[in-house]
Amino acid sequence: MSCSPALATAAGQNRNINRSEKSMNIQTRGIILKQIKLMNDRRMLMMFSEEKGKISVSASQAGSGKKRAALAYRPFTLGRYELYRAREIYSIQKAETLRSYFSIGEDIDKYLYASYALEFTEKLLPEEAPAPGLFSLLTEFFSILEKRPGEYLFLVRAYQLKAIQCCGYGPSLSGCVICGKPVEDGCFSVKAGGLVCPSCRQDIGLILQVGSDIIEKIKYILKTPLKKIGKLYLDQASLKAISQLILQYLAYHMDIRDLKSEAFLSTDPSGAERK
């Protein structure tokens, strides 16, 4: 699976695009990351499109009503879209719902964790850089979250780790990130972006003594398909340590911090404690 936005194939970009000098039509699958309401009942949608990555899209119809097609204008839906691009602005010509993950919206905990995952994804993605691997991962995450009976935080953290890796920003865990020597005690430098050995860690800040058992768990998460992780559960101490590492890593390297939806997670631990 090709995950890096930079590796997205030119063929993939060109396959469904009819180009002219000033405008073009694009057929793409997509997921709505968020809606921004404007005046006169107009909305802008932030879309994660399979073909073009994260794009802002104007939607004059706004997908009002309860019809199935209207779901394609809302989050937690996989849609197929016909987009028209003129003067740097995309607008939706046609929208069709391919799959609605409607049960996420029927469970408040699932809804909060899924909202957090969407907000994180929106921050992680650069504008207009295709990320087909992350697109697949996000749809997989929705499917698994729908079926999972509890402890959603572990699934979300696994999704975040894989998403970071998918975009080419994954932590270095195979040895000291600076000199390459083996690191036995699981000492992790947020600043250096990976494990650090005793001699290299002297001059580096933001050190976390996470322990080798936690590092092994992170390695396992990174190499195991999300589908399999969706059936696993993690003890609370490990989940807390992994969460701390991820949050500090995201804040330092990607400037992703203080997500609006995050506040709801910390005040509502039920998703993390349920078995």
Among 45, 72, 156, 200, interactor with Zn ion by CB under 5 A: 200
Check residue 176 for interaction with Zn ion (CB under 5 A). yes
Place of tokens 């990351």: 33
CB atoms within 10 A of CB 94: 13
Which residue lies nearer to Zn ion by CB, 114 or 176?
Answer: 176
Among 138, 167, 197, 214, interactor with Zn ion by CB under 5 A: 197
Least gap, CB of 180 to Zn ion (angstroms)? 7
Check residue 178 for interaction with Zn ion (CB under 5 A). yes
Among 7, 86, 108, 179, interactor with Zn ion by CB under 5 A: 179
CA distance to 50, 80, 255, per residue, from 132 (Å): 6, 15, 23
Q: What is the DSSP string of 1-64?
A: ----GGG--HHHHHTTEEE-SSEEEEEEEEEEEEEEE-STT-EEEEEEETTTEEEEEEESSTT-
Least gap, CB of 221 to Zn ion (angstroms)? 24
Which residue lies nearer to Zn ion by CB, 158 or 176?
Answer: 176
Asked whether the beta carbons of 32 and 153 are under 8 A apart, the reply is no
Joined together, the tokens standing for residue 47 give 């879309």
Least gap, CB of 216 to Zn ion (angstroms)? 19
Which residue lies nearer to Zn ion by CB, 197 or 250?
Answer: 197
Site residues (CB under 5 A) for Zn ion?
176, 178-179, 181, 197, 200
